[in-house]
Amino acid sequence: MKRKIFLSAFLIYFAAAFSRAEQGQAVQFRFKYQKGDLYRILSTVDEDIYVNRRKSHHSIIVNRVSAEVTDVTDDGQGIHSCIFMTTENSTGTYSGSHFTYGEDYKSVFKRSRNGTYTISDIYFMPTVRDVPVFPDREILPGETWTAKGHEAHDLRKTFGLEKPYKVPFNAEYTYEGRDESTGLDRIKVRYSLYMETPSLPQNIYDDYPVVTQGFSDEVIFWDNNKGAIDHYTENFRIFIETAAGNLYEFTGTAHAEVTEFLRTNTEENISSVQKKINDLGLENVTVKPDEKGLTIAIENIQFEPDSAVLLESEKLKIRQISKILQEWPDNDILVTGHTALAGTEKMRRKLSEDRAAAVAEYLISLNVRDRFHIFTQGFGAERPVASNSTEEGKSKNRRVEITIMDK
């Protein structure tokens, strides 16, 4: 009798072990933070916007996050200091065009090892919080679990809401196992939204959201060695019904990539790049530290008169500089245009924007970066580096700066 019990127990154990082997190895997922970690997230949203069931417009939105883990608590929470930038093209009709650099938003938050956020209401970013959240156990391929999360929307401009508009949800997770093509772990996430907003006094807002609903389907590709997301894809559809009876619909796709990046703004790098510029014999080109990274300034840059058409001599100069830019392939690029003090403020701004765009487009054509990793700004004559009272000073102020971005 004892032998039969032992044999039965052995067979049950063997069957369970065989089943685990068939399913794949169990994994315990954890975010792994180290003080000083630097990372960049670049997400692209491709969506259609409908107002009262009629299509309003198509939009492509690029969200760029540069972050540093400034500290790690005793219980393993990472303290993240981030700069969020959002820029949008609301026509979706361009081809090969770069994006202008939008407004910066700062955010500071804690995130636990299992993925939950601790963040103040003074910060509107990130929008989706507590995704993914992992259980405190190992997970086999095919296993599922649920965890709470929420979206926090910035509706200050749309509805005048001064705090993040938070919509809670319960996310359903499935660990799909190791992805053979990437060697990363695949995690499927789905959540549905539904929230009715409590009534607000009419003397505060003319209109406000009363019902928010929708869904999100995501696939997260997880690097368990790093303890971090590598990239993800998403399909979504969100409806917002307002007190005034308007219905807004947002439907589309999104994808994001997470990369570590190296600091370029160091004395060693600045000296090295300046030496390369000198060895190439490039005139009117200097290298300097910038609050966003390492900046290569092309002073007295030459265009056709009163235009943004680069002269061939300047294209040659940019081709040589492009080889230096390719030494930091994981860092985004910001191209800024500047003018001397001539013409109206509006004219100067427009010319500086157009000239920055011309340089960016040429860098894209050289395959230095694609259109989602290069941004532009135009400052007109707002940021002179020399006096506009002399021709020499004006030539220095007529410049385009190319920044290899750290943040």
Same domain, 109 and 201: yes
The token pair that represents 22 in the structure block = 């068939």
Asked whether residue 13 is assigned to any structural domain, the reply reads no
Residue 112 in any domain: the answer is: yes
Mean pLDDT of 10-38: 67
Q: What is the pLDDT of residue 306?
A: 75
Q: Which of 234, 260, 286 lies at the terminal end of a domain, its last residue?
A: 260
The pLDDT tens digits of the residues spanning 356-396 come to 999 999 999 999 999 889 999 999 889 988 888 888 888 88
Parent domain of 285 = 267-405
Q: Judge if 203 and 279 occupy the same domain.
A: no
136 and 109 Cβ atoms separated by less than 8 Å? no
Has residue 18 got a pLDDT over 70?
no
Number of compact structural domains in the chain: 2
Residue 339 has pLDDT above 50, yes or no: yes
Complete DSSP assignment for 134-156: --SS-B-TT-EEEEEEEEEE--H
Block residue for tokens 């058409």 = 309
8 assigned to some structural domain: no
Residue 303 sits in the same domain as residue 238: no
pLDDT tens figures, 71-101:
999 999 999 999 999 998 876 444 456 788 8
Count of Cβ atoms closer than 10 Å to residue 84 Cβ: 21
What CATH number has the domain bearing residue 60?
A: 2.30.230
pLDDT at 158: 80
**Is residue 17 in some structural domain?**
no
**Rounded distance between C-alpha atoms, residue 335 and residue 99, angstroms:** 10
* Position 256 confidence tier, pLDDT thresholds 50, 70, 90: very high
- pTM of the entire predicted model: 0.82
Looking at 21-30, 125-134, 185-194, 293-302, which range is the least confident one? 21-30
Tell me: do 99 and 227 sit in the same domain: yes
Last residue of a domain, one of 260, 291, 311: 260
**274 — pLDDT class (breaks 50, 70, 90):** very high
**Whether residue 247 sits in one domain with residue 287:** no
Residue type, 82: C
pLDDT at 54 over 90: yes
Read off the pLDDT band of 10 (50, 70, 90).
very low
Domain C-terminal end among 205, 233, 260? 260
Whether 17 shows a pLDDT value over 70: the answer reads no
